[in-house]
Chains A and B, each alone.
Chain A
Amino acid sequence: MTETMPIRLKVNGEAVSALVEPRQHLADFLRLHLQLTGTHVGCEHGVCGACTVRMNGDIVRGCLTLAVQADGAEIETIEGLSESGEIADIQAAFHRRNALQCGFCTPGMLVTTSELLACIDRVPTREEVRSYLSGNYCRCTGYQAIVDAIVEVAVARRSGSDT
């Protein structure tokens, strides 16, 4: 009874076409069809934020978006953002500040951070960072270091220096 539907989309700049079951969510599609396992699957009901990816430029929950809904869309995952170098400074700051422990939440944290820093034209306050990241859980509870790293990048980007 499992019908499949054809989809065509761009993932990290590459054209992809596939047959998917309607019930398959985007995060599973990325992981299982494309082996892009940097997108993590945590709670699968929109709470934890580990599956965060960009869809047509906006961050979305990979678990609350169906793969069929991504037909025609441009998807960017942590792999794409890493390879392009777009978030290299954020990654370096996370590393330097020890802003990851087990690392499970890190891809989602990085994708969300990239949007936060793109949509604010000044250095966000720590409260603003926490508010923006409120939809991303770190169950190691390493939030302090994550906020440290993000503020550090924001300051560096404003001052134009490339840390």
Chain B
Amino acid sequence: MKPGAFGYRRAESAEDAVRLFLEVGEGAQYLAGGQSLMATLNFRVSEAGTLIDLTRIESLKGIEQRGNAIHIGALTTHASVARSSLVRKRLPLIAEAYVHVAHPAIRNRGTIGGSIALGDPASEMPACMLALDAVIHANGPAGKRSIPIDDFYLGLYETALEEGELLTGIEIPLPAEGARHGFEEIARRHGDYAMAGLAVMTTGRRARMAYFAISDRALRSTAAEDAFVSGASPAECAEVATREMYVFGDLNASENMKRHLAGVLMRRVLLSLDGGASA
């Protein structure tokens, strides 16, 4: 279908975007890569008064190392992140996850910031950000601020971003020496919405394990993390995750199915960590 009528403004910078958002007032909506927003507008399951196009904001594109963290501009496309040699070398979890993200034509236009800000419960990047303990940078009517990823996802498509607040970038601390990562996703067809997925980072005895497509949002299994840290086997961690996870069924898999898959993924991922993770 065709979308309803809307206005269009083009932002030149993050500050300009926020200014335009306030100037437009009611019905203003930010447009990043548009690979989710345009689809919902076409489908008329969402509507916009005026779209504020962010895709020309060059200062919000790019990937660079700053001290002990890698900074990724919000408007960097999925394709650019997946191709980045810095990401491949230092953040292999993200590189591995990108194999599963959508299709080439979507990755060429969709942005990492858009995906994280939308918070689709089935998308890969929010869970990766949780596993990597990222910090979200935002700019809004009240100014700039940083939000720890653990405080970012609040519910179904609900984030800590306030009205008019724009996600400008993400900062990912470099994984420590010897850090291990694991990623698994189950989908009916390559690039489709996941039925269940899991991203894991471990360093020594610390672990961050984040599920996607299991709940109403990307969500860590702190119970499984604690079990892992206290030396539980992959099978035991899987059992804990299956029992403790807050599961939310959807069109792709029922609640029972997802609960089952949560355990399957946990066992698979922990066994896939270099040398097997049973301790």
Contacts and interface: CB of A to CB of B under 8 A. Distances in A.
B256 interface: no
Contacts of A46: 35, 38-39, 106
Interface string B121-133: 0000000000000
A115 interface: yes
B240 interface: no
Contact of B105 (A1, A28, A66, A135): A135
Nearest to A71: B10
Interface string A4-24: 010000000000000001110
Contacts, number: 91
Nearest to A46: B39
Contacts of A132: 104
A79 interface: no
Contacts of B191: 131, 134-135
Interface in B179-212: 189-192
Contact of A134 (B1, B79, B189): B189
Interface in B35-74: 35, 38-43, 51, 53, 55
B157 interface: no
Contacts of B40: 45
Judged by DSSP, the binding face of A is mixed
Contact of A112 (B8, B41, B51, B104): B104
A60 B38 CA distance: 13
Interface of A: 1-3, 5, 21-23, 25, 28, 44-46, 49, 52, 55, 58-61, 63-66, 68-69, 112, 115-116, 130-132, 134-136
Interface of B: 1-8, 34-35, 38-43, 51, 53, 55, 79, 102-106, 108-109, 189-192
